[in-house]
Structure 1
């Protein structure tokens, strides 16, 4: 069970990488620019592929009139089929032996009529068999009998589901207008569900389909897994029940892609010094028959600030969509907890209000912590390699960064794994350039599931108007970084050998729990503990020589060593007694092979270690 959980954590990265390459927008950081820019805000959507209302002949009905429904209480209403690959759909209940065994992973079905039966594809057995045996999967369950849709151009297909996402599994609903001879309008209804979502999704899906008044219409559910990877293929399960086909409602606005944040980045903890205006945007689609007027997004802060903001009312034709941008941003007044609720305003009464209900945004303004994650750990980045993970942060006021906080996840090597934290600035070409690195921290028992604070030897000055990357990393296998919430493309990153680009920066859509810490006391405590402050060597990487600057509070015996990854001491120097103050030494790298080295300096009882990279 522990092993299964471990590779679940690992595969979260694999799904991120898959998404990057399928969208053809993955890139090493060197090709991107990340300066603060309003270009991160959502643009007006171009809703293609849907006919406009004036091109349709629609027989108007009362809101959501049911044309056909089924609860899987009679299996003869369905046909189970596939293309002969691994696995098959089944119709059963939560008492089925397979469900009883495997719902420890994804939980029992909780649909309205689950006791009468539901359809499911269970992918767990192929992963947990000994040995695992995963092959590509393509199986479906379709309506046994076609229905006549004369008079209807579009319909709403809805069903209750339970689903937990893995890596390669796709959960597809398709329609046939010719009694199952051909299938069109394929929709992956869970494409936005993150890998290893816990708990599993238990909800009702409403999906619009074009049926063009066809007389032999069928729908089907199709499970697809193209991977034969015994660890990362297959999936958990997809359960469906209580299927309903209905007319379009007269009036219905469907809200999606809610955005809240500042210049494209959203935060859940904000230091008071970095307060900036917060914007709100949503995509609104007219999923009904009638044109909708006066459609607007309203954002209300309910914590006592009195803020209420609305977007300019829009007219949205049937089948069209538009972005609604609240006109006045919200700027917190100071420290405290803020709760923002959202609502769609409309001149008409919405027939299906459930599809425009949006979760609120709660965040805290405090003294020192800057956090992009939502604080609710939902998995880990834990690849079987050394790597770094971090988030972008915009700086609005000049401030000294004293530390970086990270929450380690399950699977962490707690037996002295060497880890570090770094802050990167971004050059004019969009490259991440190392600005500062903390001393090494060796993990210890109890770190998994806990927040660890890394302290810079000297405060790092961050400049207003710039964007920085805060990251945590390790030099060896065994690190696990918790993730909490989601990130837009190109705002959270991983560094390592994680894709076809080799060792490089890749973006991730899960948010690492890596935070900036501006607590000035961290710097005070660090200076009290150590007589020795050593800066990162410059340049780094280097080819011929590099310089290390250090400061002594008191005169001390100083020595240093340079050690390679194999533990061999390449250089050992005793500087003797050195006076208090600032000093510099030069390391000759002309005879060093390419690779990673550890620079260890000792002054009296104080010691610090930095990583150096030789690259000729």
Structure 2
């Protein structure tokens, strides 16, 4: 179903999920992140009791470390208290011992375009008798196109890379700091000459800082369930809400990681539940070496047949660390009318007009989500949360656009429905605003639709456009959220995925909302759709007033008639027009599409 050829803002998906998209355009660096008040990511969490075998090394003595510029570019690590200072500088690390030094790779400042450099312990470390070990450290990193690695070697010559921070979305940051654990058992476990270090590979990115490095023991047997979804994020989407009419089989997935020091084989059980009873059960077996992970997908065979809340619960047999042997996904809310990606507002998507570079805030831009209906159904409106800080009076377009069969989210997109809206002060805050289309339109099964809210005009000064969003439930792992704006290299305007949060822009199928009005006998509008010319019939020869408006609310045609009339709308361009015919005996309101 989902075939994406897209412009990506990020590729922040764990394990096998990264195969779902093709990156066609490079997005530019930004001086700010669009996601406000985000929760800190957790990397390789474990609650096992660990013994410290070496460290913590706080970088207070630079002589404890050596530097290797693998690319020969001259871009290298530094140790000290100097913070990043490039054109897109991020703050210094707030690690436990930042005051006495830390390791910094300031990719943005050096910016050679060819960066590959290591900071390595100056002396080997004896880990004899300790087969299950990990490098643990405090880190702060903002992602662009670079890659971060812990490196390990048993001889100081042949090095193995262990990726870290690979789950951080482009232009997003880790917590400051985040504690990271990298399993190096397979490389230096039980080694008398263990070498460890950190490698940055990039070009002209942001910065990475490392501090308070330890080597700690790991339990031999610790398989962990670390991420999961109640729906297929590869070929479909994990919706937070869906009408019962749009319910589909729950294909659930879970990421399993071997966080112990020995190879393990375990059975992973997936139960679909409504909170009170188990509705379906399936099982798979997985074998993983230390530090390996895999994503398992379960065809549960269960499709919701009634409104309610449904989730997937994964489990493995108890091992040496039982706190990560279960994982419960977010819930799917099956209801009468709403389809959504979000789980309620925990943050906001928007740009600060007071930032050093206000380009994004002042430009015309939008936030929205991608939807694929399971069956044909009329969309009657869109539910939106205009978050706190939004400027009242902003002029918007609420749009539904059909993606072409290739699955591209880029133009040319096919018009489906649209209505303009001016934000009222009463709509700003935590509440949901329902914006009703004058005339409903059909979303067809198997086709993709982009539903967004566009700030139409460029603005200046302090005007702000914030859309409430949710993050923390892994809701954008399916790349369902998108933003339109000048986010590309050299401020290229396009649609971009990968925002790590889902805006509250919901499809509303409530049949009691918009309805076409026709209480006039003998009056019809045809053909529809049209290449430009339409006819308004008047079989009874009564006096009627015709008014035609575009989706921005602008009147493009008016006439008083008492007979059939032919109207040419081609000059006003393709799109949807609302034809209103009013007379003493009633009225007609009908949407007409001009191709």
Alpha-carbon distance in structure 1 between the residues aligned to 2:565 and 2:110 = 60
**Would you say the 8 A contact 1:15–1:167 is kept in 2?**
no
Establish whether residue 184 from structure 1 lines up as the match of residue 159 from structure 2.
yes
Aligned partner of 1:366 in structure 2 is 335
**Would you say the 8 A contact 2:549–2:557 is kept in 1?**
yes
CA drift at 1:284 = 3.0
Establish whether residue 161 from structure 1 lines up as the match of residue 142 from structure 2.
no
The match for 1:241 among 182, 194, 212 is 212
More helix by share: 1
Establish whether residue 576 from structure 1 lines up as the match of residue 560 from structure 2.
yes
Aligned partner of 1:68 in structure 2 is 54
CA drift at 1:145 = 2.3
Aligned partner of 1:514 in structure 2 is 505
The match for 2:476 among 487, 490, 498 is 487
Establish whether residue 270 from structure 1 lines up as the match of residue 245 from structure 2.
no
CA drift at 1:188 = 3.9
Alpha-carbon distance in structure 1 between the residues aligned to 2:425 and 2:592 = 24
CA drift at 1:389 = 4.2
Q: Give the structure-1-normalised TM-score.
A: 0.64
Aligned partner of 2:194 in structure 1 is 217
The change in CA–CA distance for 1:603 and 1:370 in structure 2 (over 3 A counts) is same
Aligned partner of 1:9 in structure 2 is none
**Would you say the 8 A contact 1:438–1:455 is kept in 2?**
no
The match for 2:418 among 425, 435, 438 is 438
For the residue of structure 2 that corresponds to 1:437, the secondary structure is: strand
Aligned partner of 1:393 in structure 2 is 371
Alpha-carbon distance in structure 1 between the residues aligned to 2:268 and 2:215 = 30
The match for 1:469 among 450, 457, 470 is 450
RMSD, aligned α-carbons: 5.6
The change in CA–CA distance for 1:178 and 1:586 in structure 2 (over 3 A counts) is same
Aligned partner of 2:400 in structure 1 is 422
Alpha-carbon distance in structure 2 between the residues aligned to 1:408 and 1:168 = 32
The change in CA–CA distance for 1:588 and 1:599 in structure 2 (over 3 A counts) is same
Alpha-carbon distance in structure 1 between the residues aligned to 2:294 and 2:138 = 28
The change in CA–CA distance for 1:207 and 1:224 in structure 2 (over 3 A counts) is same
The change in CA–CA distance for 1:22 and 1:425 in structure 2 (over 3 A counts) is closer
For the residue of structure 1 that corresponds to 2:513, the secondary structure is: helix
Alpha-carbon distance in structure 2 between the residues aligned to 1:418 and 1:588 = 25
The change in CA–CA distance for 1:321 and 1:208 in structure 2 (over 3 A counts) is same
Aligned partner of 1:25 in structure 2 is 22
Q: Residue deviations 1:155-191, cap 9 Å, x none? A: 5323243546354565432235554xx6833344112
CA drift at 1:369 = 1.6
The change in CA–CA distance for 1:480 and 1:533 in structure 2 (over 3 A counts) is farther
Alpha-carbon distance in structure 1 between the residues aligned to 2:68 and 2:426 = 48
Alpha-carbon distance in structure 1 between the residues aligned to 2:576 and 2:441 = 22
The change in CA–CA distance for 1:168 and 1:596 in structure 2 (over 3 A counts) is farther
**Would you say the 8 A contact 1:369–1:518 is kept in 2?**
yes
**Would you say the 8 A contact 1:267–1:363 is kept in 2?**
yes
Alpha-carbon distance in structure 1 between the residues aligned to 2:535 and 2:58 = 73
Q: Which structure 2 segments of 5+ residues have no match? A: 1-6, 26-47, 85-89, 352-359, 460-464
Aligned partner of 1:460 in structure 2 is 441
Paired positions, count: 519
**Would you say the 8 A contact 1:337–1:363 is kept in 2?**
yes
**Would you say the 8 A contact 1:86–1:135 is kept in 2?**
no
**Would you say the 8 A contact 1:414–1:444 is kept in 2?**
yes
**Would you say the 8 A contact 2:59–2:103 is kept in 1?**
no
For the residue of structure 2 that corresponds to 1:440, the secondary structure is: strand
The match for 2:149 among 161, 164, 172 is 172
CA drift at 1:307 = 3.5
Q: Residue deviations 1:383-415, cap 9 Å, x none? A: 454345433323234432101123346775644
Aligned partner of 1:334 in structure 2 is 306
The match for 2:545 among 537, 557, 560 is 557
Alpha-carbon distance in structure 2 between the residues aligned to 1:533 and 1:414 = 39
Q: Give the structure-2-normalised TM-score.
A: 0.66
CA drift at 1:244 = 1.8
The change in CA–CA distance for 1:537 and 1:251 in structure 2 (over 3 A counts) is same
The match for 1:304 among 247, 253, 276 is 276
**Would you say the 8 A contact 1:488–1:509 is kept in 2?**
no
Alpha-carbon distance in structure 1 between the residues aligned to 2:423 and 2:414 = 23
Alpha-carbon distance in structure 2 between the residues aligned to 1:482 and 1:192 = 23
The match for 1:253 among 218, 223, 228 is 223
CA drift at 1:268 = 1.2
Aligned partner of 1:47 in structure 2 is none
Aligned partner of 1:55 in structure 2 is none
Q: Residue deviations 1:329-375, cap 9 Å, x none? A: 444453344454432x13xx523455655453233233322111233
Q: Residue deviations 1:203-226, cap 9 Å, x none? A: 442333653676543322356774
CA drift at 1:456 = 1.5
Alpha-carbon distance in structure 2 between the residues aligned to 1:310 and 1:143 = 47
CA drift at 1:519 = 1.9
The change in CA–CA distance for 1:222 and 1:324 in structure 2 (over 3 A counts) is closer
The change in CA–CA distance for 1:65 and 1:273 in structure 2 (over 3 A counts) is same
Q: Residue deviations 1:62-83, cap 9 Å, x none? A: 9977543325396478438686
The change in CA–CA distance for 1:547 and 1:416 in structure 2 (over 3 A counts) is farther
For the residue of structure 1 that corresponds to 2:22, the secondary structure is: coil
The change in CA–CA distance for 1:189 and 1:562 in structure 2 (over 3 A counts) is closer
Alpha-carbon distance in structure 1 between the residues aligned to 2:202 and 2:580 = 55
